[in-house]
Amino acid sequence: MKPWDTPVDTLAKAAKAAWPRLARTTGALRDRLLERMARALLNHADDIQTANSQDLRAGEAAGLTASLLDRLALTPPRLDEAAAALRQMARLADPLGQVVGGWKRADGLEIRQVTVPLGVIGIIYEARPNVTVDAAGLCLKSGNAVVLRGGKEALLTNRALATVLRQVLVDEGLPPELLQLVGTPERSELDQMLRLRGDLDLIIPRGGKGLIEHVVTHSQVPVIETGAGVCHLYVEASIEVQVAIAIASNAKTQRPSVCNALETLLISRDAVATHLVPILAALQAAGVALRGCPETVQCFAAAIPAQESDWEAEYMDLILAVKVVADVDEAIGHIRRYGTRHSEAILTRDLKAARRFQQEVDAACVYVNASTRFTDGGQFGFGAEIGISTQKLHARGPMGLKALTSTKYLIDGDGHVRN
């Protein structure tokens, strides 16, 4: 039940062997499984919180930043949210067996395209232990076995969570091997995982730029890239100042350590006189350190001069880069150069500018007059997400149940042969 010392290739082969049992289950059974998992997490909250406290103490001793410690913390409200996400997933429609299309040929041969699981999915992630719950729920609901490889920072928390979730599988008469946790943090295990083509059908990395680039570069298994979030907010003069302050503050400070938090604020030059100082003053009062272009620094003395690296930075902290741009053309150009195709936003009452921004900005999620913090599977009604895809093939944006399915063709004949 606790295969923490089992090599990752053995874990993956066991998951692959167990997967057909899950593929035969009904949607009702998988929904019941998720409901029981939600209850089990709350019933074992004390054990989980104890493990998380140990991870947090170890992280503090190792000198983790405040933002990383925030990502690592699985507070009681966050554990409640994880359980609620499982319950929400259970209430969603079964993603399997859906008929995408179907037709009958003139000779009577019937063809249907239906949704099916991908198979065995490997998830590689850092710090955030709630991913263990979200990934397990989404994969199992969509009929996929899962091999989880979390970061060393959350090792004890992930073990505690996996122990609870695997026991529910056993209680439901399913193989615990459907949910595997790589229990050792060695880099060699990660690299071995990337070579398991044939045992893993897909790998999804979640984490910093370095981790994602390593996985994409070295994996022999198909990968869905979940990129870093250098998210921009462009402010025009037509938007009300108080609206701009509220959205910019939410996007930056509501939870700065996540990938959909604001990292660069762009302000139209014709909005400088009315908007720049009030917005930056509100952000500074909330504890945000500001790094600005020369025009920003001239207008707001508390901002320090930005370096070229600031326009490329995913701070994941209370730090914000600020740049004055001429207009929507320059804003779009800046985003094309420095954006990571994650989440971008414009604040404007000019409908033409808003639609142009949405059409020309190449990102998974493009907002008008709203915070980038909504780029989230739960906020999109998916229950949770397996990651936010910044690529264009198969899936893009927050990936819920549908993104974890493929299709196959079912063909019914009656002695048909091809002439």
Q: Residue 122: which residues within 8 A CB-CB, separation 6 or more?
A: 12, 146, 147, 148, 149, 193, 196, 200, 202, 203, 204, 221
Tens of pLDDT, residue by residue over 53-111, are: 999 999 999 999 888 898 899 999 999 999 999 999 999 999 999 999 999 999 999 99
For residue 1, the model assigns a pLDDT of 46
**Cα 188 from chain centre:** 24
Task: Please tell me the CATH code under which domain 231-374 is placed.
Answer: 3.40.309.10
For residue 387, the model assigns a pLDDT of 87
**Cα 399 from chain centre:** 7
Beta bridge partners of 266: 234, 323
Dihedral sign, Cα of residue 293, residue 331, residue 378, residue 279: positive
Q: Where in the chain is the domain with CATH 3.40.605.10?
A: 8-224+399-412
CB-based contacts of 389-392 (< 8 A; 24+ apart in sequence): 389/224, 389/225, 389/226, 389/364, 390/225, 390/226, 390/227, 390/340, 390/341, 390/342, 390/363, 390/364, 391/224, 391/225, 391/227
Residue 327 is encoded by which pair of tokens?
């207009």
Vertex 105 angle, CA 101 and 109, to 5°: 90
Q: Is 291 left (phi over 0), alpha (psi -120 to 50) or beta?
A: beta
Tens of pLDDT, residue by residue over 15-40, are: 999 999 999 999 999 999 999 999 99
The span from the CA of 213 to the CA of 227, in Å, is 9
Domain 8-224+399-412 fold is Aldehyde Dehydrogenase; Chain A, domain 1 (3.40.605)
The span from the CA of 30 to the CA of 145, in Å, is 12
Q: Are 59 and 105 in contact (CB under 8 A)?
A: no
Tens of pLDDT, residue by residue over 275-294, are: 999 999 999 999 999 999 99
Closest to 207 measured CA to CA, from 159, 157, 257, 252: 257
For residue 134, the model assigns a pLDDT of 94
- Which residues of the chain carry a pLDDT beneath 50? 1
**Cα 187 from chain centre:** 22
For residue 150, the model assigns a pLDDT of 93
Q: Helix/strand/coil (H, E, C) string of the chain?
A: CCCCCCCHHHHHHHHHHHHHHHHCCCHHHHHHHHHHHHHHHHHCHHHHHHHHHHHHHHHHHCCCCHHHHHHHCCCHHHHHHHHHHHHHHHHCCCCCCCEEEEEECCCCCEEEEEEEECCEEEEEECCCCHHHHHHHHHHHHCCCEEEEECCHHHHHHHHHHHHHHHHHHHHCCCCHHHEEECCCCCHHHHHHHCCCECCECEEEEECCHHHHHHHHHHCCCCECCCCCCCEEEEECCCCCHHHHHHHHHHHHHCCCCCCCCEEEEEEEHHHHHHHHHHHHHHHHHCCCEEEECHHHHHHCCCCEECCHHHHCCCCCCCEEEEEEECCHHHHHHHHHHHCCCCEEEEECCCHHHHHHHHHHCCCCEEEECCCHHHCCCCCCCCCCCCCEECCCCCCCEECCCHHHEEEEEEEECCCCCCC
The span from the CA of 362 to the CA of 60, in Å, is 38
